[in-house]
A and B are shown apart, each in its own frame.
Chain A
Amino acid sequence: MALRAAPESEIEYLKTDPDLPAVGVVDRTPISPAARITFAVLGLLGGIAWVMIAFVRGENINAVWFVVAAVCTYLIGYRYYARLIGRKLVQPRDDRATPAEILENGKDYMPTDRRVLFGHHFAAIAGAGPLVGPVLAAQMGYLPGTLWIIIGVVFAGAVQDFLVLWISTKRRGRSLGQMARDELGLVGGVAAMIGVFVIMIILIAVLALVVVNALAESPWGVFSIAMTIPIALFMGVYLRYLRPGKVAEVSLIGVVLLLLAIVSGGWVADTGWGADWFTLSKVTIAWLMIAYGFAASVLPVWLLLAPRDYLSTFMKIGTILLLAIGILVARPTIQMPDVTTFAIQGNGPAFAGSLFPFLFITIACGALSGFHALIASGTTPKLLEKEKQTRLIGYGGMLTESFVAIMALVTACIIDQHLYFALNAPATLTGGTPETAAAYVNSLGLSSPNITADTLSQAAAGVDEESIISRTGGAPTLAFGMSQVLSQFLGGAALKAFWYHFAIMFEALFILTTVDAGTRVARFMLSDSLGNFGGPARKFKDPSWRVGAWVCSLAVVGLWGAILLMGVTDPLGGINTLFPLFGIANQLLAAIALTVVLAVVMKKGLFKWAWIPGVPLVWDLIVTMTASWQKIFSGNTSVGYWSQHAAFKEAKEAGKTSFGSAKTPEAIDAVIRNTFIQGTLSIVFAGLVLVVVVAGALVCIKAFRAGGLPTTEAPEEPSKIFAPAGFVPTAAEKALEKEWNELIASGAVRAPGAAHTHTDRAHHHDE
């Protein structure tokens, strides 16, 4: 690859073909005074916001400070820390082609405009996770959650996404499981693959549990969610037979129908038959979810899964913008104190355990989410146009998810404290009626004035629900807060119920998208692994073998369905016992991903900078292993699964018919069984990850002793396309882009990623 030195020494142009303009720019121009001032102002503004949040902590601080603190920190982290990571580890060069350019097939490998890919990547990584975790974590006060979300993303979550995207891009878009095998050897690789599968099952189960809790006894919610299925089928048929390829158009129609479904849900729920048909128990909804997951896994993608995904993508971007605007316009004040007593004593009703480690477990998505590694390897690298865009897509995409988490936290913290705890404490504590719930929350010693039973009934009536007591899982709380924010600037009290059900609907929509896509992915993981056994089992490798598809789908939904039903019928409340498992699972996946990254960094001999993935890995291991340890060995029955197991077993042997939250002998049996499963899962998770980490550590030591090891990177190929690295092109990039566009317009060369870049859309947009 010949390089031509530019006349200006600061700007170097990378050329790979004498007949083509440069394919990349290395800009060493020192930061301009204007940019320097901008970042100084951002730093100052962010500093003021942090002081307001962390030190002034006046009565009722305004939610806008959170947005300011978050955005300023993100911009500075992106400009300085992500840049450092880019310079020292990633070392992107735009004269090298990405897998998307090398293997372009117009389908899954395709260089995609960075702004479009950013949307793709964001829609794939963000879902209900960053909305639910922070809401539950709000029980510890606003400050710990805010600190972890913002600091965590800058030094851990975004780093993981950025670096996984990097190593996968250098390996033609290989998946995390494949890379684990390549880098860590057979044992580490197999442990990683089993780990990914088991973790996926628990993630699906817990997310499904969130939906079940949000929809139980809510005819309005059930009706509008049920309607998304016929809407999706209609969209599927429309795209297949009426207007193929008009995806944005049909999605827009779908969203309009969806809004109609929410509005009509209110009418239906008010009728006698509507209330009869759609008021469903948790167990019924759980079974319907299981049936849905199975159907989505065996039906053709075009009919149900793909259109549901289109709706979900559309709603994701729309509602998150709406919430951001809502918070900035309504500027609500925070009701939750900075740190609650639950943070210190570890006896919170939403989830048990002390601040360390359980806050860092509960908020996984938004700060550090291992699941992203599955997207950043495999899917996104195959669409990446230029190496230098890794920072924007990987690091930037995760910052955006973190911003969603901050907004969710803020939304939970603007709810009156008593209402928040009435919503989030399990029914075994609140008693389920307004009178008992009011008595319970008043006994917590909260700093806001006590409430009466009437306040709770009115709050429920305000959003047109039968009750808001013990609606655990986070989704109803977020919906309640969102209805408060959005009704303040759109529609007032009259639209409050609409906004509540709008929020419930989109959370359920996101979760169902994760559930159906996750079931399908897990089904393929299972059939692939079964196929590896050889012999007659080889047949499982053939995806068109229907029997295999049905068997594997049944096995997958059976696994997560069993955990879901266990959570739904759990006498101890479900969410508060299962959500920690979700967080632990997600962050153990992050440990696997960071171990693979660290092994690659060590093999490349970049020892001096190994702390960049090393610090988040060590932190993540401390958090997850402490949490796992406590879940397995803690003598405190509200934290440790096994001590709870032992306590209930003892009670049973002593002949008791009622013990703790379990009021019947059957409930005691259920607790004994559930704690056994949860305890076993904790051990399996931690064990698998430890195997991966030990395998990774051995590789790292070997690499360090040898001063580096041979790389598994795919051979380099010269790039023949150009695109800017960030959202806004620099002056040099702009000039180069113009040069390319002129050549493209004259037909001399092709546009990057086969035309339709932003700048030449004017010529093509009406095609």
Chain B
Amino acid sequence: MMNRVVGAVRTAWWWTGSLMGDHDYSRYVEHLRRNHPDAEVPTEREYWKARYADADTNPGARCC
């Protein structure tokens, strides 16, 4: 019972984190490692800086 509650909370936190983008950086690093092994891996700070710079010029719409 306790384990299931812990599991459910963990799943909810995983989902929330994935939705908000918490795991984006580690996914990006893995993507680089796999597809561009020679590329320099940015720090998390640099990664997000670049992400927001991209978003600056390429905004996503939000519906009503």
A residues within 8 Å of B by Cβ? 104-108, 110, 112-113, 115-116, 119-120, 123-129, 203, 207, 239-240, 244-249, 251, 300-302, 305-306, 309-310, 312-314, 365, 369, 371-372, 374-375, 378-379, 511, 513-514, 517-518, 520-521, 524, 543-544, 586, 750, 753-756, 758, 761, 764-765, 767
Q: Which residues of the other chain, A, contact B3 by a CB distance below 8 angstroms?
A: none
Give 9 nearest A-B pairs by CB, closest first. A129-B64, A106-B28, A106-B31, A302-B52, A247-B20, A543-B57, A517-B62, A520-B59, A116-B18
Chain B interface size range: 35 or more
Q: How far is the CB of B62 from chain A (nearest CB, A)?
A: 4
A636 to B35, CA, bound (A): 66
Instruction: Take A302-B52, A306-B52 as given contacts and tell me if A246 and B64 are in contact as well, using a CB distance cutoff of 8 Å.
Output: no
Q: Which residue of B lies closest to A125 (CB)?
A: B63
Instruction: Take A106-B28, A116-B18, A245-B25 as given contacts and tell me if A203 and B64 are in contact as well, using a CB distance cutoff of 8 Å.
Output: yes
Q: Which residues of the other chain, B, contact A124 by a CB distance below 8 angstroms?
A: 60-63
Q: Which residues of the other chain, B, contact A514 by a CB distance below 8 angstroms?
A: 62-64
- B64 and A586 contacting across the interface, CB-CB below 8 Å: yes
A302 to B57, CA, bound (A): 12
Q: Which residue of A lies closest to B19 (CB)?
A: A119
Q: Which residues of the other chain, A, contact B19 by a CB distance below 8 angstroms?
A: 116, 119-120, 123, 248, 313
From B20, B34, B60, B61, contact of A248 by CB (8 A): B20
A360 to B46, CA, bound (A): 48
Q: Which residues of the other chain, B, contact A240 by a CB distance below 8 angstroms?
A: 48-49
Q: How far is the CB of B11 from chain A (nearest CB, A)?
A: 7
Q: Which residues of the other chain, A, contact B14 by a CB distance below 8 angstroms?
A: 758, 761, 765
- B27 and A753 contacting across the interface, CB-CB below 8 Å: yes
Other than the given A106-B27, A245-B25, A245-B44, 17 more pairs (CB < 8 A) read A113-B18, A116-B15, A116-B18, A116-B19, A128-B64, A239-B48, A244-B47, A247-B20, A313-B20, A369-B63, A375-B63, A517-B60, A543-B57, A544-B57, A750-B34, A754-B31, A754-B34
B residues within 8 Å of A by Cβ? 10-11, 13-28, 30-32, 34-35, 44-45, 47-49, 51-52, 54-64
A697 to B14, CA, bound (A): 47
- A244 and B17 contacting across the interface, CB-CB below 8 Å: no
Q: Which residues of the other chain, A, contact B44 by a CB distance below 8 angstroms?
A: 244-245
Instruction: Take A119-B15, A765-B14 as given contacts and tell me if A300 and B61 are in contact as well, using a CB distance cutoff of 8 Å.
Output: no
- B23 and A375 contacting across the interface, CB-CB below 8 Å: no
- A756 and B23 contacting across the interface, CB-CB below 8 Å: yes
Q: How far is the CB of B6 from chain A (nearest CB, A)?
A: 12
- A765 and B10 contacting across the interface, CB-CB below 8 Å: yes
A761 to B26, CA, bound (A): 12
From A302, A313, A365, A756, contact of B27 by CB (8 A): A756
Q: Which residues of the other chain, B, contact A112 by a CB distance below 8 angstroms?
A: 18
- B20 and A301 contacting across the interface, CB-CB below 8 Å: no
- B62 and A756 contacting across the interface, CB-CB below 8 Å: no
Q: How far is the CB of B63 from chain A (nearest CB, A)?
A: 5
Q: How far is the CB of B53 from chain A (nearest CB, A)?
A: 8
Q: How far is the CB of A539 from chain B (nearest CB, A)?
A: 15
Instruction: Take A124-B60, A514-B64, A758-B14 as given contacts and tell me if A301 and B28 are in contact as well, using a CB distance cutoff of 8 Å.
Output: no
Q: Which residues of the other chain, A, contact B52 by a CB distance below 8 angstroms?
A: 300-302, 306
From A248, A520, A755, contact of B30 by CB (8 A): A755
Q: Which residue of B lies closest to A118 (CB)?
A: B19
A178 to B17, CA, bound (A): 33
Instruction: Take A116-B18, A300-B56 as given contacts and tell me if A245 and B48 are in contact as well, using a CB distance cutoff of 8 Å.
Output: yes
Q: Which residues of the other chain, B, contact A365 by a CB distance below 8 angstroms?
A: 63-64
Q: Which residues of the other chain, A, contact B35 by a CB distance below 8 angstroms?
A: 104
- B27 and A517 contacting across the interface, CB-CB below 8 Å: no
Q: How far is the CB of B56 from chain A (nearest CB, A)?
A: 5
Q: Which residues of the other chain, B, contact A543 by a CB distance below 8 angstroms?
A: 56-57
A111 to B26, CA, bound (A): 14
Q: Which residue of B lies closest to A113 (CB)?
A: B18
From B17, B49, B61, contact of A379 by CB (8 A): B61
From A120, A203, A248, A758, contact of B13 by CB (8 A): A248
Instruction: Take A106-B27, A107-B51, A126-B63 as given contacts and tell me if A248 and B22 are in contact as well, using a CB distance cutoff of 8 Å.
Output: yes
A125 to B64, CA, bound (A): 7
A128 to B63, CA, bound (A): 9
21 A-B pairs with C-beta separation under 8 A: A104-B31, A104-B35, A106-B27, A108-B58, A113-B18, A116-B18, A123-B19, A124-B60, A124-B61, A129-B63, A245-B25, A300-B56, A306-B55, A312-B62, A313-B20, A365-B64, A374-B63, A518-B61, A524-B58, A754-B27, A765-B10
Q: Which residues of the other chain, A, contact B55 by a CB distance below 8 angstroms?
A: 301-302, 305-306
Q: Which residue of B lies closest to A239 (CB)?
A: B48
- A309 and B21 contacting across the interface, CB-CB below 8 Å: no
Instruction: Take A107-B28, A301-B55, A758-B11 as given contacts and tell me if A246 and B22 are in contact as well, using a CB distance cutoff of 8 Å.
Output: yes
A127 to B49, CA, bound (A): 28
Q: Which residues of the other chain, A, contact B13 by a CB distance below 8 angstroms?
A: 248
Q: Which residue of B lies closest to A251 (CB)?
A: B20
Q: How far is the CB of B50 from chain A (nearest CB, A)?
A: 8
Q: Which residues of the other chain, B, contact A513 by a CB distance below 8 angstroms?
A: 62
For A203, A247, A753, the residue with the greatest tally of chain B CB atoms inside 10 Å of its CB is: A247
From B23, B25, B61, contact of A521 by CB (8 A): B61
A725 to B31, CA, bound (A): 23
- B59 and A248 contacting across the interface, CB-CB below 8 Å: no
For A249, A314, A756, the residue with the greatest tally of chain B CB atoms inside 10 Å of its CB is: A756
Q: How far is the CB of A222 from chain B (nearest CB, A)?
A: 22
Q: Which residues of the other chain, A, contact B62 by a CB distance below 8 angstroms?
A: 124, 127, 309, 312, 513-514, 517-518
Q: How far is the CB of A233 from chain B (nearest CB, A)?
A: 14
A750 to B21, CA, bound (A): 20
Q: How far is the CB of B31 from chain A (nearest CB, A)?
A: 4
From A113, A312, A756, contact of B26 by CB (8 A): A756
Q: How far is the CB of A607 from chain B (nearest CB, A)?
A: 32
